[in-house]
Amino acid sequence: MPAPLPEDSLAYALSLAAEAIAAVIAGRSLDAALAECWRGHGPLPAAVRGAIQDLAYGALRRYGRGDYFLEKLLHAPLRETRLRALLLAALYRLSQRPEDSHTTVDQAVAAAAVIRHGKYKALANALLRHYLRRRAELEAAADAQSSALHQHPDWWIALLRDSYPTEWPALLAAGNERPTMSLRVNRRRSDVDATLRELTDQGIAARVLGDNAIMLEQPLPVARLPGFAEGCVSVQDWGAQQAAPLLAAQDGMRVLDACAAPGGKSAHLLELADIDLLSLDVDAGRAARISENLKRLGLTAQVGVADCRRLDLWWDGRPFQRVLADVPCSASGVVRRHPDSKWLRRASDLVGFAATQAEILDALWRVLAPDGKMLYCTCSLFPQENAQQLAAFAQRHHDAVLLQTGAAGSSADKYWQLLPQREHDGFFYALLCKHGSP
């Protein structure tokens, strides 16, 4: 029986990262896989957790490339998923720390020793050393293969290329980057200038992005953020922060956030106006996070658990003056935060997402008051979930008037497609007004 790996060793981090990666390969989300990892291995020091997360996220961002290398280095497909995941993590670290290649190989072999009683130690050692000997050749070959070069599935690459003939290489590159960390300042408890001063005083480099937004030069744990525990700031991407100002809810309005968890947009709506807000989500566990976030920020809303399409389960018949429809989607605009999604998704999934989105839009249109406004929002880049979805909705609902979103800084186009870049993720916004009397 192999000795347990030291908790502070690279081998330990590689081993636990491999557990999470193997779970993703089996079909689980990375968030769920890491949560299971933390539960299964007890409290871990922040540095150890950070190392595990870096290896897991990094290996999945580069999965297309790592998988290509394994295909070229192995004589037959590798059936042991845990070993495959370990090798993907090791190949990722070799790409990031070439000067530390000897340590990476040594520690990966040590991690392989705890899989099937050490049966694969020799294979792990031979494969990784073979990669190092052939690195230049393999890297050049990978650059000639689409999914290995762009580190996205071929169907994803083709769809972006068709939809964005000029921008598609940059969009794929953005999906492989480490995400930035932005803060939303709770204007009821602080302001941007005061928050920026507090960050600077603590040696945290940051810059202002907008009226209530600050971007950190380097991400850091929320426990280190001044004012976070006191509800002065929240972590929210600048792109996501555009929803509440676009909806422009006014004091006294009845407002619905129909797919609200974990509550960032609900909180922002409440920070900007005194409204009667119903925050709804279909998942009870995720809905609980809405209440937790609102409590930290000193805000109040009615939180409900229901499928927003089933009006009979939650709607009391009173119309809403504003509705936020932040619908389920492919999350193709935030893939750098969820690198597992590009490998778990299939092209056929877009049909299902589009059908669900259409059902949600049709249901929520019924609860919107005459002359009320509904903001349709996705974190997707795919037209099937965005412009095409809105065009089909307009054909079904002739009382829908599409309003311009240019006030938030977009072009004159009535649809606002935010493409991912360093300062923000990718989002789509469309603002609709319900014209006329009932």
Look up residue 402 and give its two tokens: 């599409």
Q: What contacts 345, CB < 8 A, 6 or more positions away?
A: 153, 156, 330
The one-letter amino acid code at 39 reads R
Q: Do 190 and 228 form a contact (C-beta atoms < 8 A)?
A: no
CA distance 380 to 91: 30
DSSP secondary structure of 334-345? GTTT-TTHHHH-
377 flagged as catalytic: no
Rg (the chain; Cα; Å):
24
Q: Which of 259, 308, 379, 433 is catalytic?
A: 379
CA distance 67 to 152: 11
The one-letter amino acid code at 84 reads R
Measured CA distances, 213 to 184, 186, 226, 244 (Å): 5, 10, 15, 13
Coil/strand/helix, residue 234: strand
Q: How many CB atoms lie within 10 A of CB 437?
A: 7
> Tokens 């937004």 correspond to what residue?
213
Q: Do 10 and 51 form a contact (C-beta atoms < 8 A)?
A: yes
Main-chain phi, psi angles of 272, to 5 degrees? -90, -20
Q: Do 386 and 428 form a contact (C-beta atoms < 8 A)?
A: yes
Nearest CA among 178, 288, 293 for reference residue 231 = 293
Measured CA distances, 29 to 207, 362, 425 (Å): 32, 29, 20
Secondary structure of 408-419 in HEC code, one letter for each residue: HCCCCCCCEEEC
Q: What contacts 136, CB < 8 A, 6 or more positions away?
A: none
User: What is the DSSP-derived secondary structure letter of residue 5?
Assistant: P
Active-site residues, by number, are 379
